[in-house]
Every structure is written in structure tokens, then in C-alpha cells.
Structure 1
Amino acid sequence: MRSSHLTHFGVLEAESNGKSLSAVTGWHGDPDPRQIIHNVASSQHHPARIRRPAVRQGWLQRGPGGTGRGDEPFVEVTWNEALDLLSTELRRVYDTHGSSGVYGGSYGWSSAGRFHHGQSQLHRFLNCLGGYVSAVGDYSYGTSGALLPHVIGSVNEIMADATTWSVIREHTELFISFGGLSEKNSAVGPGGIARHATRSEIERAREAGCHFVDITPIRDDAFAEADTEWIAPRPGSDAALMLALAHKLDAEGLADLEFLETYAVGYDRFIAYVRGTSDGQPKSPEWASKITEIPTDAIVALARRMAESRTMINVSWSMQRQDHGEQPVWLGVTLAAMLGQIGLPGGGFQHGYGSSGDVGLARRVTSPPRLPQGTNPERSYIPVARIADMLLNPGAVIPFNGRELTFPHVDLVYWVGGNPFHHHQDLTKLRRAFQRPSTIVVHEQFWTSTARNADIVLPATMTIERDDFGAGRNDPLFFPMPALTEPAGEARDDYAIFGALEERLGLNQAFTEGRTVQQWLEHLYSEWRERLATRGHTVPSFEEFWDGDYIEIPVLDPGQVLHADYRNDPVNHRLRTPSGRIEIYSEKIDSFGYEDCPGHPVWLEPREWRDQPYPLHLISNQPKTRLHSQLDIGTTSKRGKLHRREPARMNPVDAAARKLQNGDVVRIRNDRGSCLAGLIITDAIRPGVVQIATGAWYDPDPSDPSFCRHGNPNVLTADRPSSSLSQGTTAQHALVEVERWERPHPPITVDKPPKLVDNRA
């Protein structure tokens, strides 16, 4: 039977024999389906699939404790044994430490379905037990997520209200993207993306006369249809370039002072810094040229074109995943304000075109239904990128967005969905941190590094093996998702696992409320349908929805323009900032006293910069062949490997200086660690830069966990925050050296399970 199914990277159509998928293709309704969907069928029965519950041998022998975690074999046990062990351990930790002793992790894109979303399932369950230490923010745009509410409004609202691509096509004359306009990132969307329309929209905008400028060290990190003009500054120097553009706009009288007076606050403080009045250093194009290595004339010409055109300034999420990542985002807003085009069709600022497939879609009237998580009574939390610091330094105090946070003493980590050994930085440090808790529990489909560094590993179903429904974060298409096959091995839904634990822990159906999965789906949908009806929107009954292909959630305005209401009436449509206006200078941020994020945007030199031991700038960006680390053992992902390792790209000038050849296996190294990669030499990479995608499953050498044989760049990246304001990740950049690997190629082990033993001895 041929059926469709929503994934984070598109809707797949597949034939199933009830046990596995075959003949997988993109959905007929998708104008631009992507090859990543072929990872799904090829992964389902892969040898790396977790077949049965497993417990680390040392944990069984010695009891809770981290010694040997990540090195010892696992013992496969029955479901009853695993659930009895886990329920006993949960009782111990909650009785001894309370809710502050449990960290509910589960950051990540665990499921395109809304009911079986792993994070929601786990958080609901832990709330029934009394709560958990939580995380705020994210790795994708955690830095700007902390900054933008002070400056222009919630980052999620900015993206949901983004000027639509149809408006850009009709009105934008100059589209400047700092950090790429990525085809690969536009292939995915949180919760799913049904129709990949970005390519055709860009193509039509280009045909209508829109000129695209891409400012990035990677020339092909944009749709070919955009026919972009490429400007390649030194990585990490974008804030200096943007300050120089502001300097030129000011010097030539091109700034819209009336707009700045009406709609913004703090421009006088900022422009004094730009002119050099406040610190003695004008941020001129000549000054910026020495930092960015972009010719002065090119900076001057770009500033003038910006002022002459209807200009959209786009700042990708990548720009804030670096040291002082707040600054280029804040400066993107500031430049758009100086041009006076915020709120005009086709002009202004956006954060995320090309970073996710849903940015540029019109806002829906409502989100799809989802499982309620309940209320978490535990007050302790951390910024999500500080997990290793929390585990290694309980009781330590860190600044965060005007507060001081104390790291709790976590004794048990419970992870459902997601792979911190992909998302996090300095994996050697993370591996050391994972030794600290008494117990780590993981629900997983595959033997990822997170599962291998756990104590109790429970096999979970893939989305294709369970009933659900789903729609992406701002995608109007809402799909039923009936299971396409039976579960592989002994895998169970997270809901079934928590339901069994609920019985053992005597929670009196607080988690399940006595409902089956199908009853939950119907209940959630029916409540949602009633809410829509009260707002004048009619959708089919659950039975019609479940038996159909999809329904379309209405959108508010197909031609929406970000901040149009604010521009038209700044009194009655105040921004959600402290002043109600655009804050070029933020009195609140300034009051925090953070040297690494002062009260207005500035140039701050990255901590890894010039004249340091490692001469190449590593760009660790998102992959083309998978979503983050998901399904790295799938067909599409494996085809992208070179010598079974993640490919690294380098400019011919840098390769020649190191006597490297195309196809060499190379070692990328710095003081934190090293990894092997297959070398691709291309002039699409700026000189002085090496680029390797994130997401290759971490495969540490048994004698040296800082050496990844498979090509995970997070053995190289630093686990340091962007600033005291955000505590966000700086994963995008690091300094490295590259050399040919002259020794025999070590084995790759991530495509096999860890050692499984039949006894506990």
C-alpha cells in the first residue's frame, strides 16, 4: 500500500509491506522534493538500530555511577527488567534529591509528529513526577533569542511574521544576506515542511529584477537560482563590515533620520561610537577593510546601493553561532533602521531566510494540536548550551540575560529525542561531563553517541512506525500520519514506555489520563477543531481528517509585511521591547554591565582570531545530506561521505601550501581535539577557511576520545558562550590546522552496535 508521511525534510510517499518501506519518493504535492527523505527507509533496519532494551554492564554490576560510561559493553534485558530498574532509580533520585536532581534534556528535532514529539512526552512525564531541571533557548538561534526581545521583539514572532516571499518577489530590489541563503537549510523545517517553494520564489524574484548579495566565506551556500554576488569577508568580521556600512550611510547623509527619530531609540549613542566620538576610532570603510579583507571601494559601493534600493537585510542563524554573535544580528536591525525601510513591502530586516524552510511563509491562524506538557514546579534551569558546565560544576553561578543562575546538582539525566553529542561543542569535555551523574537514561532508535554514553537505553519507534499527526512550525499543511510499518525489533513508542512507568510508579494515570494513542489524537484534534470553530474557521471531523491526505490551516495574510502595523501606527502597535520601539541602544542591556555585550552594537574581536597557532578558520555548518545528525547511516548521508568520512572543503591555495590532493584523508586539529575527513578542494571556499558540516556521528578512538575517526567537527569547537547575555553556542567557528593523514585509516564503528553481552558478569 502506498502512503504519505511527514518528515522534517519533506513529505515522503512510500510503499510498505508492513515491515519496511520500499520505493520511497517525494510527495506529489511538493514542487522541489529533497533527497534527504531517502535516509528514512534505508535506516529503519540498519545494524545500528537498537533492537532491545539494554543496560550498561557496569551499572548493573556496581549500581548507579558514571565510571566506565561510554567504554563498557551493554547487557540486553527484557522490557520488564528495564522498566523495573528505571522506575526504582527514578524513585531513588526523586526521594533523595527532589526535582532539582533530574535534568530533562531531549533537545532536538526528535519527531515531525506533534503527539509523539519526544521532548513533550518526556517533559509531561517528569512533570507528573514533580518536575525537572529544564533548559531555555536553543542551539539554532539561542544568542539572538536572548538579544532580540530587547531590541525589536521575539525571534519566533519575527520569523512567523516574516515578509513573505511573494512580497519580496514584487518589491525587493536588493536582497543582502549575511551568512548565506542556504538551499540545504531551506530543505528542512522544525516539525516538517510540506512544499519546498523557496527555490522557485527566489528564481521568480531574480527574474523580476531583485539583485542578491551573499556575504559569506562559502560561495555556494546559496541557491544557484539567486545568481548571487559573492562578498567573502574574513570569518567573524561581519560586525566590522556592518559598522563600516553604517559609517558610510551616516557620512553621506543617507540615513533616514526621520524614521530613526520616530521608530527607534538610542541612535545618538550608537552613531557616536560609529563616528569614533566615544572611543577615538571611526568605524570607517578603511578601518573595516583591514579587519574584513574586503576592499574599501566595495564597502562604499554596497552602502550606496543599499540606500538607493528597496533593500532587505537578512541575517542567517549562522551569524549568531559565534563569539559575540549578538553583534551582527543587532547591527542587521540597526542598518535596516538607518535605511528607514522597516515595515515597507520588500524592505527591512529578517532573521532566517534560508535558515529554515518555513521562514517566509505567512503566519497561520493557529498552531496544530499537540500533547500538553503540564506545569513544571522546579525553578532551576540552564541555557541549553551550558549542559556540560552544569554537570561539571554544580553550585557554580553564571550570568544570563540580567540574572545570575546557580547550576543545580543533577544526579539523573533523562534524554528522549535528540543527540547532544551532535549539538554540543568540545565533545571531550561533554564526554567527561557525562561521567558525573549517577544515571543517564536514553530513549533512542539508533546507537548514537548519546546512547553509547548512557546507562539505560530503551529502543524507541521511528515516526513511520507509529500513529501521529503533524505540521511544521509555520507550515499551513496539516497531515495525518498513520504508521506505515510495524516497529523494528522490540521498539516501543515513548508514550507506551512512560505509560508502563506510570503504572510502576503509581501515578494514577496522571500521564496517560487513561487514553490510548488513537484516543489522544482524536481528543486533541477535536478540542482544536472546537477552538477554530469559535474563531470562525471550519475544519473536517477527525474521521475525515484521518482518512484524508491533509488539511490546510488558514493563514492570516498571504502578503504579510514584517512590522507593517508598527510602521503605520507606532502608538497602538508598539513593539514588545522595553521602550516599545526599536532599541539601537538598550538601556536594559547596558544596565547588566556585560563587557562582552554592551548597550549598543559594537565590534568585539573574537577570542580565536589572528596571529594564533592555528592558521585556518573552521566553518562548522549544517549538512546537505541529512538534518543535523539524524539518520547519518542512511543512504543519502553515506553517499556524501569520502572514504566513509565526512568531507572537508578547502581552497586550492591552502591545499597547495600543505601539498594536499583532492580526495586525501586529512586530519583537522587544534588544542581541543582532532578528526579525520575526506578532502575536497574547491574555489567555492574562501582562502584561509576549511569547511566541514556538523552531524557525522561521533566515533572516538578508544585510546583518545578527543580524536574522532568519522569527522565530527565538535571535537574541535569550543564550549564557550557567545556572551554573558545569551550564553549561546559558538559552534560555527574555530581555528584549526589541516594535514594529510599518513597512517593506515582507522576503522569506522558508528554503523555497528556497541559490544552487547549476554550476561552481567
Structure 2
Amino acid sequence: MTAVPHSAHWGVFRAEWREGELQVRPHEADPNPSPVLQNIPAAVRNPVRVARPSVRRGWWEQGPGPTDRRGREEFLEVGWDEVLDRLAAEFRRVHAEHGPTAVYGGSYGWASAGRFHHAQGQIHRFLGLAGGYTQSVNTYSGGAAEVLLPHVLGPFDAVTRSVVTWDQIAAHTDTVLAFGGMALKNSTVAAGGVSRHVERDAMRAAHRRGARFVLVSPLRQDLPDELDARWLAPEPGTDAALMTGLAHTLLAEGLHDREFLATHCAGWPEYERSLRGRDAEWAAGICGIDAEEIRALARRLAAGRTLITVSQSLQRAEHGEQPVWAGLALAAMLGQIGLPGGGFVYGLGSLGHYGRPRNAVPVPTLSRRPNPVRSYIPVARVADMLLHPGERYSYNGEDRTYPDIRLMYWCGGNPFHHHQDLARLRRALGRVDTFVVHESVWTATARHADVVLPATTTLEREDIGAHGTDPLVVAMKQVAEPYGEARDDHAILAALAGRLGFGPRFTEGRTTREWLAHLWERTEKALADKGFPAPTFDEFWAAGEHELPPGADDGGLLAAFRAGTGRLPTESGRIQLASQRIASFGYDDCPGHPQWLPPTEPPTPEQPLWLVSNQPSTRLHSQLDFGATSAAGKVGGREVVRIHPADAAPRGISDGDVVRLVNARGACLAAARVTDEVRTGVVQLPTGAWYTPASADDPTCVHGNPNVLTRDVGTSRLAQACTGQLTTVQVERYAAEPPEVRAHRRPPIVPRA
């Protein structure tokens, strides 16, 4: 087989079969390809694949209804026609008895880099045409910032993705103050694919030019070693206090930009008053960084072109809005917002499509159908919704009510990776009547479903890979035949739509190849209108890829605002250092100006260590956890927890030991790595290990999923976002014989006559 182009969220690649083995190699233009690509070959014929439609025995034999048997009961393999007929009848029942708001459409956007077989687009299109549904808003990754930034700076995408680029940093920045770091494992990943990983080379170029990098994180690996970064390791959750101490020093020493604050900011008098008494000594007592170090850093920030970055990790914690807002306020005091390579940027380094100019033309995209009902929840509040139907909650200035969900339809996501407090999530899932999942492999989510419909992987279908900030559009050609009876999400939903009477409206009479040609038309026309080469779809498909022209690297909305050519869409038209609108909501957990708020669950003698639950370096979220790169990162089949020698020694923990992490919510086992690259008092266990309980009666995860430990509470009443980054635990050496890890095996399945 000739190598064919394809795309994944962590890179564009060529795939080919050699002697019966699938091999992948990165795109030749990628200067720093991701090792995660080597997880892909295991995806095609792995024994953990879902081969046929599978239904939980109790649901099939006894009908829909709440139950505690999900995740505990065997599955029956049934025929496609039988299961789709049953599902169509269940849709009709739920709509007739409870209305469309009783259907929850769960999805996440990481299932495929393809723009047509985009699970989120397909399921929302289907449910919209079916009459409507309760949907989610915002993301687990950036939910607090997604709600806050429109209040205080501007539309989320407009003030994050392309206002400060890697090219600008390489050319202009003198100091990068990176709160939460800019770990290359995170910028490996970009929705729709990434053909060129430019982050490492840009940081190296800035470093060679003399730029200074300062890392603020409990983890040393959150910036590349070759940058010789100054590492400041504050107490987790105290970044806003450190930012406040830096701001006070700028004010006390007259280093703040009074003119910029007067002409481009609102709320400065209120914020200035809030700094009283919160000097470097005050900050040092909270965050553990020496006061003189804080003052020296503040002076450096004011001495040249400075960029303040705030990673997504900081706002994935209790009061997560505050470090984003405090970082913006600190940058505003320096007066450099809107300058090339200076000012403030949220999320740079957290995803691969941040820090790049947008393409000059749009990429092919499947448009959503509007949801005919206005029922929604913040995405991280799904367990609250299921456990507390009819209860009131606050969100972004609104008083809302949780709907009563009877049918959950999940396509393209794994809540047992994204969500917190898995024991609570399992109880919540027991409240619905029917839980349907499209899945290619037997994840924990699939094991807890009533109906599991086998979905193809990206390698088993045709698609177009693209993102608005990556120049390469890829013809994703089929590499392998579908596994077992797997179908793509569009085909599954089209068959179900046909049974519900809206099949032609869902498919619009197009085959998959015709859909791809239709999506390409928008890009082709935009290229032609601007005078660029504009291949037809057939020409693009034959070539395998097409490079789009870049747009201008001009700083976008913030540069225009600085230049005086536009107002910001905030309550004042300026940067909000204080917000009367937010203050009017009356939220004590998110007041009207940025400040440090103490945690409600600090370390205790029973749970003395902070657990940092960050993204893994060996896979995207939990995807392809069984792949070669992911497996190589485990020890004895278990995830690795990093612990400082000063914390390991008194617990009798040595490198490679199996340890037990425990708190009031649950427990998990992991393999210890003793290292001084984490702060004392901190352990770090990445997310993504498939949840694997020790037994039906023991929910201890023997594989190392930290979400059995993390808290399922909102960041605040403003955003109600995910707080999965930080929690507190005890760690102890596991003295008994460790149980076997069975994460990548199928559940009990019985073929049905």
C-alpha cells in the first residue's frame, strides 16, 4: 500500500501497511513531531475494540429506567436493525412523556480531526433535527476563562488565539512570565490537526536573542529545559496572590503605566484600593515565594517588553477565574497589552492552535443546526444536573434550573476522563432511563452505558482534516476497513434519523464523499475570491493536501484597541480591572475585581499533599491509552505519580513502588517516581488512565485515574467550570500484592441468537 495522508489532533502523518503492520510517520514539514502519533497503529485491530452493537442485559430484557447496574452487568450483542428500532422507540417515548429537554446530548470535540466526521457536529445536528435537547456550554479545559474573559476583555477566541503569536515572541519579547508554564506536551495537541509544531523553535529563538523565561508552577517540566527558565514553585492555588504582590510592587515603586490605565482600562481606582496591604510580604506568606524575589521580578517585568501568560491549568481549580483576571490586571499595569509579543495572553502553550495567525480563508466545516429549545448547562455540571433535577443554581448572572434528564446520548467523548469524583458520576448515571454511547473501544463510559454502538475510528473512513490556524488542509483517506460491524457516526445517526422520520433532512441526500466535496466548496470559493490558487475538490483529493495562505499577524482585536481604532465589547468598552456587572451578581466566590481567595479544601493532616491532576504527555486525554507511547509511559501497566524525595522518604516510598493515593472521595493505585522536579508537598498524577475499579464492590482504581479523587464542584457561581486540576490527598506505600490491571479488556459480552 502506498502511504496515504491522514490527520490526528496531535499531528499530520502518512500511513501505510507493511507486512501486515500499520506504520505511521510524521509529515515531513513538521519540525518537532509528536511521539503520541505512535499510539495510532494500535487503534485499528486492538482486542478492546467494540465489534458489534452491544446492549446491557437489564436494559434489553427489562426496559429503560434508573438502575445501579450500569458498569456491573454483562452486555448482549444484538443486530443493528434491532437496536436502532429500540432506540427510535425510546426517543419517541421520552419526547412524548417528558419533552425534548429530557434528552441530554453529551459530546466533546476530540473524537476526530476530521471536519465532517466530527462527533460533536454530527450528534448536535441530529438532536436538533429530532426536536431539540438539553446541551452543554463551555469546556472542561477552559470553562472559567470562557465565561470571565468576555466580561473583562472581549470575545474568548478573539482575545486568546492569535493576539500574541510565537513569531512575535521570537522577535520582540524580553521577559515571558508563564503562570502554569507552556509545556510542549500540551501544545502538541490541536483540534483538526497540526502540521507544524512551532512552539519549541520559537521559544529557542527568543532565548537565543536574550529573552528571559520565568516559570511559575509546582512542576519543573512545564517549560522546556533548554530555556534555562527561572523556576518559581508557589503553593498550588496561590498564583493570584503572587500576581497581587507583583502588582503592589509596581504600584509602590511607581512602575505602573498611569497613562494606559487611564485611557484603556476601567475600574483602576477600585483595583488600586484592593492592593492596599497586599504587598510582597503579604504574598510571600501565602504563596511561599520570598518577598524580595517578588519585588525583583516586578522590577524586571517593568524593564522591557513583557508577556504574561496564564495557562488553562490555573483556571481548572477552585476560584479559577481569579488568576486569569489578576494576570490581566498585572499586564494592564505594565501598559503593554496590544504590543507585539507583549501584554497578556490566556492559554498560550495549552493548545497547539494558540499563538498562530489565522488562515486567510476559512477551512471546511460542518455547520450545526440550531437547537430549537433553550435548555443548557455548563458542561462540568452534568452530575449535578442528573442528581438534582429541578433544583436552582447560579451561572453567569442567571438563576437557572436543572432539567430532568431521561435519555443521555453521548457521541465522541469520555466523561470518565473529563469529569471529577467518579463515584459521584457513577451514582448520577444511575438516575437516567437510557444511556447511549457511540464508541470504538470499551472505555469506562462505554462499560457504564445501556447501548453501545460501535463507531469507526478516523482511520476507517474518509474526511478532511483542517483548523483555522494551521495552513495545511489534509485529505484524510481511508487506511483500513471498519472493525467488525462498526459504522461511522454519520451513518449511525442517519439510520436512526430515518426511523424517526427526518432521514433526508439529516443527510440532505449526500453520500460521505459528496459531503466532503460540499464542505470544500466554501474554501475553494474563498481562495478564488481572494486570487489564490483554488483547486477543485477532485484536484485537492488527488493531491492529498493543500496549503492555505496565512492571514496577517497583526495582533487582532487587542492591537486595534490599543491603536484606538476600536472599542472592546465589555461594559465600558475598555479592559475591566473591576466589573460592576460581575459585582452586581453578588457572588462572594467571584467578586467584582480580581483577588486571591483561599481554598475551601486546604491540606489537612489526613490529606496533607496537593495533587496536581494535569494532562498526560503520552496521549490526548484518555484516547488510545492502549497505544505504544501511552503504554511505554506506565510502570507495571499503571500510571506514574511523581513525588518529591522529601515527601517520599518519610512514607518509605522508593522509585517504582506501587502507592495508594486516597482522600474522602476515593482511592487509586499508581507507580511512584521520586523526583525533585515537583515541589515539596505536591504529587502529580496525569489524567487519562482508563478507570478500572478493583472489583464490583471496591471502586479503587487500580490503573491510576486521578478523577476518583478530584472534586466535582464549580470554580464559582460565575462560570461553574471544572476544578479537576487540584485536590488534596494522602499517599502511602501499597504493601500488598498489587491487583492486576484489566483496563484494556472487553467487559463480559454474550452473543445473542
Q: Which TM-score band applies after superposition, normalised by the shorter structure?
A: over 0.9
One-letter code of the match for 1:634?
G
One-letter code of the match for 1:615?
P
| Cα separation, 2, equivalents of 1:120 and 1:472 | 15
Choose from 392, 395, 411 the match for 1:400.
395
Query: Partner residue of 2:98?
Result: 97
Contact 2:386-2:431 within 8 A present in 1 as well? yes
CA shift at 1:617, angstroms?
0.3
| Cα separation, 1, equivalents of 2:169 and 2:213 | 11
Q: Equivalent residue of 1:511, what SS?
A: helix
One-letter code of the match for 2:423?
T
One-letter code of the match for 1:523?
H
Query: Partner residue of 2:228?
Result: 227
CA shift at 1:79, angstroms?
1.2
Contact 1:232-1:294 within 8 A present in 2 as well? yes
| Cα separation, 2, equivalents of 1:21 and 1:523 | 34
Query: Partner residue of 2:455?
Result: 460
One-letter code of the match for 2:389?
P
| Cα separation, 1, equivalents of 2:455 and 2:539 | 29
Query: Partner residue of 2:270?
Result: 269
| Cα separation, 2, equivalents of 1:467 and 1:17 | 21
Is residue 2:339 matched to residue 1:344?
A: yes
CA shift at 1:553, angstroms?
2.4
Q: Equivalent residue of 1:308, what SS?
A: coil
| Cα separation, 1, equivalents of 2:484 and 2:503 | 30
CA shift at 1:353, angstroms?
1.6
Q: Equivalent residue of 1:184, what SS?
A: helix
Contact 1:178-1:215 within 8 A present in 2 as well? yes
Task: Return 5+ residue gaps in structure 1 as ranges.
Answer: 276-281
Query: Partner residue of 1:47?
Result: 47
* 1:325-336 → structure 2 map (5 Å cutoff): 325-336=320-331
Contact 2:6-2:465 within 8 A present in 1 as well? no
| Cα separation, 1, equivalents of 2:4 and 2:735 | 49
Query: Partner residue of 1:681?
Result: 674
Tell me the TM-score normalized by structure 2: 0.98
* CA shift in 2, pair 1:221/1:508, >3 Å: closer
Query: Partner residue of 1:127?
Result: 128
Contact 1:9-1:37 within 8 A present in 2 as well? yes
| Cα separation, 2, equivalents of 1:74 and 1:226 | 52
One-letter code of the match for 2:370?
T
Q: Equivalent residue of 2:333, what SS?
A: helix
One-letter code of the match for 2:561?
Y
| Cα separation, 1, equivalents of 2:303 and 2:697 | 56
One-letter code of the match for 2:569?
R
Contact 1:167-1:561 within 8 A present in 2 as well? no
Choose from 437, 444, 448 the match for 1:449.
444
| Cα separation, 2, equivalents of 1:474 and 1:157 | 13
One-letter code of the match for 1:84?
D
* 1:77-116 → structure 2 map (5 Å cutoff): 77-116=78-117
One-letter code of the match for 2:142?
Y
Query: Partner residue of 1:279?
Result: none
| Cα separation, 1, equivalents of 2:552 and 2:84 | 49
* CA shift in 2, pair 1:491/1:108, >3 Å: same
| Cα separation, 2, equivalents of 1:473 and 1:634 | 28
* CA shift in 2, pair 1:118/1:21, >3 Å: farther
* 1:289-438 → structure 2 map (5 Å cutoff): 289-438=284-433
Choose from 549, 552, 563 the match for 2:558.
563
| Cα separation, 1, equivalents of 2:464 and 2:141 | 25
Tell me the TM-score normalized by structure 1: 0.97
CA shift at 1:23, angstroms?
2.5
Identity %: 50
One-letter code of the match for 1:120?
G
Summarize deviations over 1:396-438 as a string: whole Å, max 9, x none.
1110000011111110000010100100000000011011110
Summarize deviations over 1:544-595 as a string: whole Å, max 9, x none.
11111322222221354661111111xx411121211000011110110100
| Cα separation, 2, equivalents of 1:71 and 1:162 | 49
Is residue 2:73 matched to residue 1:72?
A: yes
Deviates more, 1:476-485 or 1:141-150: 476-485
* 1:683-698 → structure 2 map (5 Å cutoff): 683-698=676-691
Choose from 710, 714, 724 the match for 2:717.
724
Choose from 509, 520, 523 the match for 1:525.
520
Contact 1:143-1:320 within 8 A present in 2 as well? yes
* CA shift in 2, pair 1:195/1:626, >3 Å: same
Summarize deviations over 1:209-242 as a string: whole Å, max 9, x none.
1110000000112122322110000000111100
CA shift at 1:473, angstroms?
4.8
Query: Partner residue of 1:186?
Result: 187
Q: Equivalent residue of 2:213, what SS?
A: strand
Contact 2:423-2:708 within 8 A present in 1 as well? yes
| Cα separation, 2, equivalents of 1:609 and 1:656 | 23
One-letter code of the match for 1:397?
R
Contact 2:163-2:559 within 8 A present in 1 as well? no
Q: Equivalent residue of 1:447, what SS?
A: coil
| Cα separation, 2, equivalents of 1:561 and 1:62 | 58
CA shift at 1:273, angstroms?
1.0
Is residue 2:692 matched to residue 1:699?
A: yes
Is residue 2:41 matched to residue 1:38?
A: no
Contact 1:415-1:443 within 8 A present in 2 as well? yes
Q: Equivalent residue of 2:221, what SS?
A: coil
| Cα separation, 2, equivalents of 1:576 and 1:560 | 17
Choose from 606, 613, 635 the match for 1:613.
606
CA shift at 1:43, angstroms?
2.4
One-letter code of the match for 1:431?
R
CA shift at 1:180, angstroms?
1.2
One-letter code of the match for 1:245?
L
Summarize deviations over 1:85-115 as a string: whole Å, max 9, x none.
1111111112222210100001241110000
| Cα separation, 1, equivalents of 2:697 and 2:660 | 14
Summarize deviations over 1:593-646 as a string: whole Å, max 9, x none.
100001100110011214453110000000000000001011110110011100
Choose from 491, 497, 503 the match for 1:496.
491
Query: Partner residue of 1:743?
Result: 736
| Cα separation, 2, equivalents of 1:549 and 1:758 | 41
Summarize deviations over 1:304-355 as a string: whole Å, max 9, x none.
1001121000000001000101111001110110001111122100011210
Contact 1:164-1:559 within 8 A present in 2 as well? no
CA shift at 1:162, angstroms?
2.6
| Cα separation, 1, equivalents of 2:683 and 2:42 | 30
Contact 1:31-1:196 within 8 A present in 2 as well? yes
Summarize deviations over 1:341-381 as a string: whole Å, max 9, x none.
11112210001121011111112234312222211111110
* CA shift in 2, pair 1:223/1:371, >3 Å: same
Query: Partner residue of 1:598?
Result: 591
Choose from 635, 654, 658 the match for 1:661.
654
Summarize deviations over 1:698-736 as a string: whole Å, max 9, x none.
001224454111000000000000000000011000000
Contact 2:120-2:411 within 8 A present in 1 as well? yes
- Stretches of 4+ moved more than 6 A in 1? none
One-letter code of the match for 2:47?
P
| Cα separation, 2, equivalents of 1:185 and 1:45 | 28
Is residue 2:159 matched to residue 1:164?
A: no
Contact 1:24-1:41 within 8 A present in 2 as well? yes
Contact 1:395-1:408 within 8 A present in 2 as well? yes
One-letter code of the match for 2:228?
D
**Count of residues paired in the alignment:** 751
Query: Partner residue of 1:511?
Result: 506
One-letter code of the match for 1:629?
S
Query: Partner residue of 1:752?
Result: 745
Q: Equivalent residue of 1:410, what SS?
A: coil
Is residue 2:551 matched to residue 1:573?
A: no
Contact 2:364-2:466 within 8 A present in 1 as well? no
Deviates more, 1:470-479 or 1:75-84: 470-479
| Cα separation, 2, equivalents of 1:328 and 1:392 | 30
| Cα separation, 2, equivalents of 1:655 and 1:502 | 56
Is residue 2:576 matched to residue 1:583?
A: yes
